[in-house]
Amino acid sequence: MSDTNRCPRGLKRRLTLLAAPLLALLCLPIIVVVSRRASALGTPPEPTAARRAGSVQDYSRFSHTSPGEHAALTDNCSSCHRRSDGSLEPRFPVHKDCTGCHLTQFTAAISSSENPICTICHASNGLDSSNPPLKKFPGLRSFNAQFDHAQHLQGKASARPAEGCAACHAPAQRGVAKTIPARLNAHQNCYQCHSPGGQAGELSSCGSCHKLGAYAPTSTASRAYRMSFSHSTHGLGQRLNCADCHSVMGRGLPQRRQVRSISPAQHFAPRAQSCMACHNGKRAFGDTNFNDCKRCHKGQTFRMG
């Protein structure tokens, strides 16, 4: 090599000293990333409490809401429950309804007396018998009941009961009140139309009325009943029908806002429809009858309730 291309030894040493810190600075981000990845692989994160609790499925309990596969079935209740002939209560699932998804759990290599999934429906005592006894189940509280008055009274013809309000609301308390269908008694009313081949047979599945969620039944203790009000004395004899006191509101409203009730007040006329529509001294209750407060009010205080 010629002397013109040869680098002086002192200059080469200075260049080496300057390049070393620059190279280390460029490699620092790569070292940090590699170190973090190695740390993550070497020490897995601590699982959350929810993940630890859900890691083992408890097959001795059943829930309509979990896991997600159960919640998805609630749109088609007939996949597990079938209506019994002549009974208002749907039948419980049989083995074949469950083994489609839980064959592994049903055929576990343990005795039936120790198989957790059997204890969902059967009492622990007698599981090894040929006909294990069924458990007593509490009332179902995980489903609500959906009913739309406007749809049944103002909607399409197939949704309107021929008897109108009387198809679902019958006299109660010797004619003073009207019943409100609830629990299995409601099935009796609904099945009149919502049965295969019936007036509204295309909507005969459980999912037509029931969805997952809480339910608060409408109270039958009307404020008007505390003022000597009686449906029987305000019926056909007075040429009145349900629509004279109750107006059905629009479709899709919450349960307690679907039907407007008359306000049990006579001495003043609030914005809502009140008893004064009739009890005005002309149509009902002549002038002399206004002195008899007990015709409407009960108790010693005569409070409006």
175 and 239 assigned to the same domain: yes
Residue 94 counted as domain residue: yes
Is 3 domain-assigned?
no
| Contact indicator for 276, 269 with CB cutoff of 8 Å | yes
Is residue 290 in some structural domain? no
Q: Are residues 178 and 106 in the same domain?
A: no
Domain presence at residue 89: yes
Q: What is the pLDDT of residues 104-132, one digit of tens each?
A: 888 876 665 678 888 888 888 888 888 88
Task: Tell me what pLDDT residue 61 has.
Answer: 86
Q: Tell me: do 87 and 162 sit in the same domain.
A: no
Shared domain check, 132 and 196: no
Domain count, the chain: 2
pLDDT digits (tens, 9 = 90+) for 65-111: 888 888 888 777 878 887 766 677 778 888 888 888 899 888 876 66
Residue percentage of the chain with pLDDT more than 70: 70
In a domain, 166, yes or no: yes
* Residue 291 domain flag: no
- Domain boundary residue among 137, 162, 193? 137
Look at residue 293 and tell me if it is in a domain.
no
Looking at the predicted structure, is the pLDDT value of residue 303 above 60?
no
- pLDDT of 213 strictly over 80: yes
User: Do the domain assignments include residue 96?
Assistant: yes
| Same domain for 252 and 177 | yes
**What is the mean pLDDT of the segment spanning 2-29?**
56
Looking at residue 258, what is its pLDDT?
92
Q: Which domain holds residue 215?
A: 149-261
Residue 40 binned pLDDT confidence (cut-offs 50, 70, 90) = very low
